[in-house]
């Protein structure tokens, strides 16, 4: 299942470069790896404001505000229910944040990947849906107050929750963010949706404090001692001899910069480039970090890859595995991944740094 998730993640990122108002029909925008913007709702909002200002509409601005309309992270106008007691979470990154907020008991259904990662924390045998092609009728029948989705569900360019919205269910979209700053905005938005504003602010504060601590320590690393790093999502094999990695414009590249490392793929034109083995070997990384989710004995597999014998990371045995859930899911636990990366690459520098989300 995790191999399928990787293909979903990479296909969305590659296709895009890797939704609509609640209860209203809309066409999903083409997905992008960073924040999605939808032009139609924005245009409608502009027309509404102009109508109010011109007197074409009788409603006052106070009356418009009283409707409780907010924008989700994709820019769609939605109305969040006053009370949210039942939630359907359609992305693992969202599910984990809800769990951290203490809301596991309010999750009445989720996507299959969320259950695969966090089923032990969720209610037993809750309904699970394919995030790319969910059973909309079954979702509506559950009568949830709120459905939280991610940009992954729009990876094929169509709105797979159209019927759910038409049924009057509040669907809030949170496209997969490409920066730490946008991830924090996602967390604050989720907190707003579920009545956990204070908890969301605390999470973001903890993220900022950890980043500041790591940045201060990284500043002490001399330029000539900064290591080059290859981050891999996919270990090459005879059947598929490519390495999927994180390039510029991704939060993973941002994390490597914060800890004082140099991403060997930072100059690639794609956000998620697919490198052939020859190109990767020529990059000669000092460290290899892997978030490979399914290769058995992945560290030893990498250390014994044919043709890599003279790569610095192999010679010095600097190959480290990073928890795939933490690094691949854009939520507060990317900080956990960043702490792990920092300690792996520069153990002496970051030995005392603590993960603010350890145990969550």
pLDDT at residue 149 in the model: 96
pLDDT at residue 197 in the model: 97
pLDDT at residue 36 in the model: 31
| Structure token digits, residue 52 | 């109010």
- Give the chain's largest Cα–Cα span: 75
DSSP character string of 8-57: HHHHHHHHH-----TTS--PPPPP-SS----HHHHHHHHHHHHHHHHTSS
Helix (H, G, I), strand (E, B) or coil at 223: helix
User: By C-alpha distance, which of 359, 299, 295 is closest to 332?
Assistant: 359
User: By C-alpha distance, which of 99, 114, 170, 177 is closest to 139?
Assistant: 170
- CA pair distance 254, 231, nearest whole angstrom: 12
- CA pair distance 12, 157, nearest whole angstrom: 10
Per CATH, 2-195 and 204-350 having the same topology is answered: yes
Distances (CA, A) of 332 to 140, 176, 242, 307: 30, 13, 29, 37
- CA pair distance 339, 20, nearest whole angstrom: 36
Domain ranges of the chain: 2-195, 204-350
- CA pair distance 92, 95, nearest whole angstrom: 5
pLDDT tens, residue order, the chain (360 aa): 544 455 444 544 443 333 333 333 333 333 333 333 333 333 333 333 333 333 333 333 333 333 579 999 999 999 999 999 999 999 999 999 999 999 999 999 999 999 999 999 999 999 999 999 999 999 999 999 999 999 888 777 789 999 999 999 999 999 999 999 999 999 999 999 999 999 999 999 999 999 999 999 999 999 999 999 999 999 998 888 899 999 999 999 999 999 999 999 999 989 999 999 999 999 999 999 999 988 999 999 999 999 999 999 999 999 999 999 999 999 999 999 999 999 999 999 999 999 999 987
User: By C-alpha distance, which of 282, 346, 271 is closest to 312?
Assistant: 282
pLDDT at residue 322 in the model: 98
Task: Give the residue ranges of DSSP H helices in 107-179.
Answer: 112-118, 136-142, 162-166
| Residue 93 CA to its chain's centroid (Å) | 6
So what's the architecture of 2-195 in CATH? 3-Layer(aba) Sandwich (3.40)
pLDDT at residue 160 in the model: 94
The CATH classification number of 204-350 equals: 3.40.50.1980
């Amino acid at each position: 299942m995790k191999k399928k998730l990787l293909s979903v993640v990479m296909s969305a990122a590659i296709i895009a470069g890797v939704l609509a108002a609640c209860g209203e029909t809309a066409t999903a925008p083409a997905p992008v790896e960073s924040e999605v913007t939808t032009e139609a709702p924005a245009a409608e909002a502009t027309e509404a404001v102009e109508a109010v200002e011109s007197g074409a509409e009788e409603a006052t601005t106070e009356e418009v505000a009283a409707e409780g309309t907010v924008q989700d992270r994709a820019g769609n106008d939605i109305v969040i229910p006053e009370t949210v007691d039942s939630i359907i979470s359609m992305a693992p990154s969202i599910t984990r944040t809800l769990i951290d907020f203490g809301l596991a008991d309010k999750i009445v259904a989720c996507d299959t990947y969320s259950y695969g990662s966090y089923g032990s924390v969720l209610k037993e045998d809750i309904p699970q849906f394919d995030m790319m092609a969910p059973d909309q009728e079954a979702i509506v029948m559950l009568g949830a107050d709120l459905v939280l989705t991610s940009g992954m569900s729009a990876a094929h360019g169509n709105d797979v929750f159209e019927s759910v919205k038409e049924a009057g269910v509040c669907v809030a979209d949170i496209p997969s963010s490409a920066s730490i700053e946008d991830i924090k905005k996602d967390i604050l938005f989720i907190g707003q949706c579920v009545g956990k504003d204070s908890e969301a602010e605390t999470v973001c504060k903890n993220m900022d404090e950890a980043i500041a601590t790591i940045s201060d320590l990284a500043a002490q690393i001399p330029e000539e001692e900064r290591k080059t790093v290859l981050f891999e999502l996919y270990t090459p094999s005879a059947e598929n001899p490519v390495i999927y990695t994180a390039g510029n414009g991704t939060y993973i590249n941002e994390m490597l910069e914060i800890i004082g490392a140099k991403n060997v793929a930072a100059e690639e034109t794609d956000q998620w480039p697919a490198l052939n083995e020859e190109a990767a070997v020529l990059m000669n990384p000092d460290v290899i970090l892997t978030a490979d989710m399914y290769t058995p004995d992945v560290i030893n597999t990498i250390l014994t890859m044919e043709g890599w014998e003279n790569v610095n990371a192999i010679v010095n045995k600097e190959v480290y595995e990073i928890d795939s859930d933490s690094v691949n899911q854009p939520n507060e636990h990317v900080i956990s991944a960043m702490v792990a990366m920092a300690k792996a690459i520069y153990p002496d520098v970051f030995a005392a740094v603590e993960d603010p989300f350890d145990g969550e």
